[in-house]
Chains A and B, each alone.
Chain A
Amino acid sequence: MNWQGWAEIALTLGLALALGWPLGVFMSRVWNGEKTWLDPVLRPVERVFYAATGVDPNKSQSWIGYGASLIAFNLFGFVLLYAMLRLQGVLPLNPQGFAGVTPDLAFNTAVSFVTNTNWQNYGGETTMSHFTQMAGLTVQNFVSAATGAAIAAALARAFAGNKLSGVGNFWADLVRTTLYVLLPLSIVFGVALIGTGVVQNFAASVTATTLDGANQTISVAPAASQLAIKQLGINGGGIFNVNSAHPFENPSPLSNLLTAVAINTLGWAAFFAFGRTAIARKDIRALATAAILILAAGASVIYVTESQPAPALVAAGVENPVYMEGKETRFGIASTAAWAAQTTGASNGSVNGMHDSFSPLGGGMAMLLMMLGEILPGGIGSGIAIMVVMAVLSVFVAGLMVGRTPEYLGKKIEAREIQFAMVALLIVPLSTLGFAALTVAWPGALASLFNPGAHGLSELLYAYTSATANNGSAFGGISANVPWWNTTLGFAMLLGRFVPIVAVLAIAGSLAAKPKLAPSAGTLPTQGTLFVGLLIGIIIILGALQYFPALALGPIVEHFQVLEALGAN
C-alpha cells in the first residue's frame, strides 16, 4: 500500500461521482421530456420511433401498463437474442465460422444480456461471431440499461407527483434514454477508447511471429464499440474471455482509468437524475453519500487485504509476497481493488483481475458488495431504485421514532409499499442462497468446482450472488457451461432482475396515487448525516446479515485458515 494507490482509488471513485452530477441533470431533463441541446438532431429521430410503433409518448401508463410494456419488450428481446444465438452459423459477419450456440448456453446468455447481467459462460473470441456481438449482445447492452433507467424514472415521478394515476410512458423512457443518453455517450467514449489503443475491426484474427519465430494467432474484434456501452451501460460482458484484463480491451493505465470511471458514471447520474425528477435533490444526495461511503470502504478493504502477504508466496520465499496472482502488473493492486469494488458495487460484470485469486477477505468483500443489492451505485436506474427501497425501509423502521407514521419524500409509507419492498429484498437471498444450497445437494453439480473446501464454497456462492444481483462478474474456478449451471444461473438472473423491477413499479404505482405531504419540523429529516448513518446501518443489517452464516463457511473461515497457515510458516 502506498499513497499513490490510495490516491488512485480516490481519483477513480471521485471522478465517476463528479461526472455523474452534470450527466444526471441531463438525464433528468431527458426523463422529464424537457428541452435538451440534442433536440434539433434527435427529436425527429425520436418521432420516427413513435410514428412507426403508434406509441403516444405523452400518455402516462398505470404501473401495471408500464410493467406489462417493460416485460413484453424484454421478452421480445430475449426471444430475438436466443434465436440469433442458435442461428449464429447461418447469419452474416461470421469470419471465424462459429456454429450455433447450444440451447442451454443460448438460454443462459440471452437471459444474461437481457437482464443487464452479462454473466458469460463462454469465451467471447471462441464462441460468438461479430454479428452476434454487435447486433445481439451490444443491442441488449443498450436496451437493458435503458430498461433499468426507466424504472427509476417511473419511481421518481411517483414521488414527485400528487395523486397521479400513471407513472409515465415506458416506451418514451426507453427510447429517450437510449437515444439521448446512451447512444451519444457511447459514440464519444468508443472513439476515445480507440484513441487509447482498444482494437476495432471486423477481422477474425491477426497473425504474429513471436520472438522464437513461432506463428501466433491473435483474435481481434470490434471491441471499442462494444466496450463503450459495456461500461457506460454497466453491463460488463467482455468481447474477449478475460474481459478488461485483455490488452486489446484495456491496453493501458489510461484506458483503465477511463473505463473504470465509466463503470460508475451513469449509475451516479441516475442517482442525481432521480433527485431532480423526484424534486428531492438533497435527499438523494444523502443516498449517494451513503453509497459512496460504503463503496470507498469496500475498495479500501480490498486494497488492504490484497496487499497482505499470501501464505503460499511466503512459503516460497518470494520477496514481496502480496496477492499479485491473477492481477495485471500493468495496473497493480490499487487499480484492481478499485475496479473490483466499482464493478461489484455497480452490477457491472467486467473484471481486470481474477477475483478467484484474491485473498479470502478481498474476494469476500467483492461478494458482499453484490449481496448489498447492487446499489453502490448499481446499474443505471436499477441501483437508485433499490437504494430508494432501502431508504424507504430505513424510514419505516426508524422513522417511527420521531413520533409520526413513516413517510419518505412526502409520501406515506404503508403496508403496500412495505409488502413490495420486502418482496424486492427477499428475492435476493431466496435466489442466491436457495440456488447455491440446491447446487450443493444436486448430484454432480459440484464437479464443476475447481477447488474443494471453503474456497470452493466461495466460488459457488459468488456465482449465484453475481447472477441474482445481475452483476455478471465471475469469481472463476467453475466450469459453468453445463446444463445445471446454465439453467439455474439463468433463472437466478431472471428472478433477480424482474421480481425487484415489478416490486419497484408496484411501489411506484402505489406512491404515485398518494397525496404529496408537506414536510414540517416534525418530519423525519432524510438529508443529514444522521440519516446517512441510519441508512448505512439498515443496508448492512437488512441487506447483508442474512448472508453471514454462509459467508462464515466461505471467505471468513478461509481467511482464518490462511492466518493459521501464515502462523505455521
Chain B
Amino acid sequence: MTVMDLPPDDTKPTRLADSFSPAMLGRAVGEAFVKLDPRKLLGNPVILATELVAALATISAVAGYAGGIGDGAFPTAIAVWLWATVLFANFAESIAEGRGKAAADSLRATRTTTKAKLIVDEKQGLIVPTPAHELGLGQIILVEAGDIIPVDGEIIEGVASVNEAAITGESAPVIRESGGDRSAVTGGTTVVSDWIKVRVTAQPGSTFLDRMIAMVEGADRRKTPNEIALAVLLAGLTLIFLIAVVTLLGFAAYSGIELDPVVLGALFVCLIPTTIGGLLSAVGIAGMDRLLKVNVLATSGRAVEAAGDVDTLLLDKTGTITFGNRMATEVIPVTGIREEVAFRAAVMASLGDETPEGRSIVELGRTKGLSVTAPAGGTVIPFSATTRLSGLDAEGKSWRKGSVDAVLKLIGRSEADMPAQFRQSVEKIARSGGTPLAVVEGNNLVGVIHLKDVVKPGVAARFADLRKMGLRTVMITGDNPVTAAAIAAEAGVDDFLAEATPEDKLRLIREEQGKGRLVAMCGDGANDAPALAQADVGVAMQTGAQAAREAGNMVDLDSDPTKVIEIVEVGKQMLITRGALTTFSIANDVAKYFAIIPALFVTVLPQLQALNIMGLTSPESAILSAVIFNALVIVALIPLALRGVKYRAVGAGALLSRNLLIYGLGGLVAPFIGIKIIDVILTAFGLV
C-alpha cells in the first residue's frame, strides 16, 4: 500500500497551465469579436448596456454624416471608443479562458481511442476487443504493460506501475494494486509494467479526464454565489444611473438645455461600473486557473470561493506537519556507561535496520563522528511484530534495540528493577511525545534512544501566518494524546485531535460547522470520503481512493497534503481581486462626474465652468477623455485581474486598510489624473 520510490525523472513535471503564447492572444482577440453577439452578453448587464449605447452612438454618427447635420467626427469618436470598451471587456474574458482552453486541448489529445480488452469469460480467459466508448459500468477489462487505461476503474486483481503524467504532469510512475486505497485507476493513464484487471466505475464521457477537460475549459462554469450577488449589485447600479441620466433630460429641458443623446449615453457608460463588469468573469476564471497552475483541480468556482472563506483547516499530522517518519535525536546512556559506548551499541543494533528509524540512528551516529561499518558475517535480526525488537549478531556479540518492555523481557528484568536514571529518561521521552527505544549489548542495558516525530521546518511560521489570516489549524493524528500534544505544541497548531478515527474527523467537521465555521481538509483514503464530502473544501489526493476523489470538491494532482494552505490563499486572492476591482470601479465615478457634468451644461450655464476642476480643454474633449479613460482602464487592469491582487498573510484589518488605500483612494484619484492626461494629448494633437 505504498507508492513505490522510483528514481525521479530529470525533467520537471509539465504544468497544465502555462503563460500566454502569441497564438492564445490571437485567439482571444478573435473571440472578443465573436462575443459582441448581444445574446452572449445577457449575463452581463453592464457590458450589454454599454453595447446598446455604442450601437446608438453609431447610428447617431452615421445619421450625422448622412444628414450633414453638424460634424459627424465627435459622435464617431465616441462610438468607436464605446465599441472598444465592449471589446476590451470581451477580450479580458477570452484571454482568461484561453489558458484553460489550451490545457483542455492537451488533455483531450491524451484521450484514448484504442480498443479495450473486455473480459467476457473470466474462467476461459476469453477477451473481446471493444471500443472504449462501448464499455459499461461494472464490466471487467484487462490492461497490460504498454496499454492506455481506457476508462476510470477499480483494480480487482493484479499490481502494476502506472504512468499518470497525462493527468498529473508527473512522469514518475506510481504503483496501483487491488485492495486498499491505491486501487483506483484513471482513464488516459498508461500501464508501464505488469498487468491489472480493472472493473469499470465510470461511464465513458463522465470519467475523471472528461470532468477535468470540462473544468479547465470552463464549459461547466456557472456563476458562483458571490458572483451572482455582485452581478445583482452591478445591475442595480446600472439601473440607478439609468434613472439619473434619463431624468436629467427633464431637468435639462427645464433649464433650457438641449442634451445630445450621444453625450448622455457617454455619461451613462462612464457612470455604470464597466471596469468590474468587464473584468468580473475574467477574475473568476483566473482564480480557477491559478489553482490549475499549482496542479489543483476544482470541481466548481463555488469551491474556490469557499476556500477563501475557510475558518478551520484540518491537517493530517503525518506528511503535512511532520516528515512522517520518526527520527532519532539523542541516545541517553545508563548511569555508568560512557556515552560513546551507548551510541556505538545503538548504531550496531541498527546497522541492518533499513527502516527510516533505523537509518536515522546510524545517521545520528555519523553526525556524532561515529563511523561504523557492518562487521562481516554478522546476522541481522529484523524487526517483527511479535518480538518488537531488532538488532545484529556479529563477532560473538549481540546488540538489540526495541520497545522498553520487550527489551527488558529479553534480558530477564522486570519493569520494577529498572535503574532509576533509565526509568527517568524513558518517562521524560514519553512525556515529550517521543518514543523511547531501549538498547542492550549482550545482557547489559546501555541506554535509551529518543525517537522523535520531526516537525517540518517552517511549519510553525506558516501556521502563525494562517492564524493572522483568521484560520484555525487542527492537527489530526492517530497518536496518543500525550504524543499529539507535544507535536501540536511544537508545530504551533491551534488544536489537535488524537487517536482520531474517520468518524472522529467527520464529527469534528460537523462540530466546527455547527459553530458557524467553514472547514477545509484533505484526504486520500476511502474512509476519508464522508469527511471530504462534509467539509466545505475537501481536497482529495490524486493518488487516493476513487471514493475520496469523488467525495471531495477539489483534487490535488501532486497529492501533496500541504497544498490545502495554498488553495486557501488562492481562494482569498480571487475574492480580494474581485473586491479591489469593484471598489476601484465605483470610486472612479466621482472624477467622471467632474469631467462630464460641466461639459454637459456649460454652454447654457457658464457658471458651471467652476466645476471643471481638471481644467479640460472643451466640453467635447472632456467627454471624449472620460470615455477613453473608461475603456483603457479595462485594458490596464486585465493583468491585475488575471494575476490577482498580491495576497499577504496579515489580519483582516491591515489587509482592508491597505487595499482600501490602493483601490479605494486610488480609484478616486486615478481618473482625475488619467482623464487630464488624455485631454492634454487630445488637445496637443488637435483631435478635438
Q: Do A and B interact with each other, yes or no?
A: yes
Using CB atoms and an 8 Å cutoff, list the residues of chain A in contact with chain B.
162, 393, 396-406, 410, 413-415, 417-419, 422, 425-426, 429-430, 433-434, 436-438, 440-441, 446, 453-454, 456-457, 515-518, 520-525, 528, 530, 533-534, 537, 541-542, 545-550, 552-554, 556-557, 560-561, 563-564
Expressed in whole angstroms, the minimum distance between the Cβ of B590 and any Cβ of chain A is: 7
- Residues on A with beta carbons closer than 8 Å to the beta carbon of B601: 552-553, 557
For A460, give the chain B residue with the smallest CB separation: B254
Nearest to A529 among chain B residues (CB) is B657
CA distance A430 to B121 in the complex (A): 75
Contact (A400, B605) CB under 8 Å given A405-B305, A520-B472, A522-B470: no
CA A563 – CA B609 in complex, angstroms?
13
- Not counting A402-B659, A433-B243, A457-B254, a sample of 17 additional A-B residue pairs whose C-beta atoms are within 8 angstroms of each other reads A393-B233, A402-B579, A406-B226, A414-B229, A419-B232, A429-B244, A430-B243, A440-B251, A456-B254, A457-B255, A517-B517, A541-B587, A545-B590, A548-B244, A550-B247, A550-B248, A554-B251
Give the complex CA separation of A557 and B254 in angstroms: 14
A-B contact pairs, 23 of them (CB 8 A): A396-B230, A397-B233, A400-B578, A401-B576, A401-B579, A402-B576, A402-B652, A403-B652, A404-B309, A405-B225, A405-B575, A414-B226, A434-B247, A521-B468, A530-B657, A534-B664, A541-B586, A546-B240, A546-B241, A550-B251, A552-B611, A556-B608, A563-B607
**A437: which B residues are within 8 A, CB to CB?**
246-251
Interchain CB contact under 8 A, B240 and A518: no
Would A404 and B572 count as touching, CB distance under 8 A?
yes
Asked, given contacts A396-B233, A401-B660, A414-B229, whether A522 binds B469 with beta carbons under 8 Å apart, the answer is yes
| Complex CA–CA separation, A546 to B647 (angstroms) | 34
Find out whether the CB atom of B469 lies under 8 angstroms from the CB atom of A521: yes
A322 to B241, CA, bound (A): 37
Asked if B653 is at the interface (CB within 8 A of a chain A CB), the reply is yes
Nearest CB in chain B: distance from A452 CB, A = 10
Q: In the assembled complex, which residues on chain A have CB atoms less than 8 Å from the CB atom of B580?
A: 400-401
Q: Which chain A residues border B237 with CB–CB below 8 Å?
A: 422, 542
Which residues from B are CB-within-8-Å of A162? 516
- For B577, the closest partner residue in chain A by CB is A400
Instruction: Give CA–CA (A162, B514) in the complex, Å.
Output: 10
Task: Indicate whether B561 reaches chain A with its CB closer than 8 angstroms.
Answer: no
Inter-chain contact A518/B311, CB cutoff 8 Å: yes
Residues of B within 8 A of A556 (CB): 608, 611
| B583 located at the interface, meaning its Cβ lies under 8 Å from any Cβ of chain A in the complex | yes
Q: Which residues of B contact A541 (CB under 8 A)?
A: 586-587, 589-590
Judge if B471 is at the interface, Cβ distance under 8 Å: yes
| Complex Cα gap A524–B653 (Å) | 7
The smallest beta-carbon distance between A519 and chain B, in angstroms, is: 8
Knowing A556-B608, A560-B607, the reply to whether A524 touches B247 (Cβ < 8 A) is no
Question: Closest residue to B579 on the A side, CB-wise?
Answer: A400
Q: Does B597 contact A (CB under 8 A)?
A: yes
* B247 lies within 8 A of A433 (CB): yes
Decide yes or no whether B188 CB sits under 8 A from chain A: no
CA distance A425 to B243 in the complex (A): 12
On chain B, which size bracket covers the interface? 35 or more
A111 → chain B closest CB, angstroms? 22
Contact of A523 among B233, B470, B605 (CB under 8 A): B470
Query: Complex Cα distance A430/B247, Å?
Result: 9
Whether B253 and A440, one on each chain, are in contact in the complex, defined by CB atoms closer than 8 angstroms, is yes
Q: Compute how far the CA of A537 lies from the CA of B225 in the bound complex, rounded to whole angstroms.
A: 26
Q: Give every chain A residue within 8 A of B244 (Cβ-Cβ).
A: 429, 433, 546-550
Cβ proximity bits B579-618 to A, threshold 8 Å, 1 near / 0 not:
1101100110110010001001100010110110000000
Q: Assuming the A-B contacts A401-B663, A515-B516, A557-B601, are A528 and B255 also in contact, with contact meaning beta carbons closer than 8 angstroms in the complex?
A: no
* Closest CB in chain A relative to B178 CB, distance in Å: 43
| Contact, CB under 8 Å: B311 / A522 | yes
A429 to B243, CA, bound (A): 7
Which residues of chain A come closer than 8 Å to B305, judged between CB atoms? 405
Within 8 A of A (CB), among B336-360: none
Residue ID in chain A nearest B587 by CB atoms: A541
A404 to B308, Cβ gap below 8 A? yes
A522 touches B471 (CB 8 A): yes
Choice from B228, B252, B267, B469 contacting A553 with Cβ under 8 Å: B252
Beta-carbon contact of B250 and A436 below 8 Å: yes
Please, which residues of chain B bring their CB within 8 A of the CB of A406?
A: 226
Chain B, range 455-493, C-beta contacts under 8 Å to A: 467-472
Q: Which residues does chain B contribute within 8 Å of A530, judged by CB atoms?
A: 653, 656-657, 660
Tell me how far the C-beta of B90 lies from the nearest C-beta in chain A, rounded to whole angstroms: 24
Complex Cα spacing A434 to B230, Å: 26
Q: Are A552 and B656 in touch, CB under 8 angstroms?
A: no
| Whole-angstrom CA separation of A446 from B252 in the bound complex | 15
Q: CA–CA, A242 to B517, complex, Å? A: 57
Inter-chain CA distance A148–B348, complex, in Å, is 85
| Pairwise interchain contact A553-B515, C-beta atoms closer than 8 A | no
* Contact assessment for A401 and B232 in the assembled complex, using a CB-CB cutoff below 8 Å: no
* Least CB distance, A35 to chain B, in whole angstroms: 30
B655 within 8 Å of A (CB atoms) = yes
Task: Check B576–A518 contact: CB distance below 8 A.
Answer: no
Q: Are B589 and A549 in contact (CB under 8 A)?
A: no
Within 8 A of A (CB), among B222-273: 225-226, 228-230, 232-233, 235-237, 239-241, 243-255, 267
> Inside 8 A of B573's CB, which chain A residues have their CB?
403
Name A521's closest neighbour in chain B (CB-CB).
Answer: B470
- On whether the beta carbons of A398 and B656 are closer than 8 Å, the reply is yes
- Bound form: Cα–Cα A438–B517 in Å: 51
For A537, the chain B residues whose CB sits under 8 A away are: 587, 664
| Distance of A403 Cα from B583 Cα, bound (Å) | 14
Taking a contact as CB atoms under 8 Å apart, the answer to whether B229 and A398 are in contact is: no
| A520 to B312 alpha-carbon distance, docked (Å) | 10
Q: How far apart are B236's CB and chain A's nearest CB, in angstroms?
A: 3
Chain B residues with CB under 8 Å of A418's CB are 229-230, 232-233, 236
The answer to whether the Cβ of B538 comes within 8 Å of any Cβ in the partner chain is no
Q: A413 and B229: CB pair below 8 A? A: yes
- Residues of B near A560 (CB, < 8 A) are 607-608, 610
Residues B251 and A405 in contact, CB atoms below 8 Å apart? no
Cα A278 to Cα B653 in complex, Å, equals 23
Contact A525-B652, Cβ < 8 Å, known A404-B572, A405-B308: yes
Shortest distance from the beta carbon of B601 to any chain A beta carbon, whole Å: 7
**Residues in A whose Cβ lies below 8 Å from that of B229:** 396, 413-415, 417-418
Chain B residues, CB < 8 A from A525: 652-653, 656
Q: Are A403 and B572 in contact (CB under 8 A)?
A: yes
Q: Give bound CA distance, A405 to B578, whole Å.
A: 10
Judge whether B651 is part of the interface by a CB distance below 8 angstroms. Answer: yes
CA distance A393 to B229 in the complex (A): 11
Ordered nearest first, which 4 A-B pairs have the shortest CB separation? A522-B470, A400-B579, A403-B572, A437-B250
B571 CB within 8 Å of chain A: yes
Are B583 and A546 in contact, with the CB atoms below 8 A? no
The listed residue (B311, B576, B582, B660) touching A520 by CB distance below 8 A is: B311
Q: Contact at B467–A521, with CB atoms within 8 Å?
A: yes
Separation in Å of the B459 CB from the closest CB of chain A? 19
The docked-state distance in angstroms from the alpha carbon of A472 to that of B471 is 50
- CA–CA, A403 to B580, complex, Å? 10
Residues of B within 8 A of A436 (CB): 247, 250-251
Closest residue of B by beta carbon distance from A516: B516
Which residue of chain A has the shortest Cβ distance to B471 in the bound complex? A522
Q: Are A400 and B226 also in contact (CB < 8 A) when A434-B247, A560-B610 are? A: yes
Given contacts A457-B255, A517-B516, contact A402 B655 (CB under 8 A): yes
Contact A546–B243 (Cβ < 8 Å):
yes
User: B251: which of A402, A425, A457, A521 is its contact (CB, 8 Å)?
Assistant: A457
Interface contact B652-A523, CB-CB below 8 Å: yes
Q: Kindly report which residue of chain B lies nearest to residue A393, judged by CB atoms.
A: B233
Bound Cα distance A564, B659 (Å):
42
Which residues 344-403 of B have a CB within 8 angstroms of A?
none
Is B611's CB under 8 angstroms from A403's CB? Answer: no
- Chain A residues lying within 8 Å of B241, measured Cβ to Cβ, are 546
* CA–CA, A521 and B610, complex, Å: 47
Contacting A at CB under 8 A, from B633-661, are 647, 651-653, 655-657, 659-660
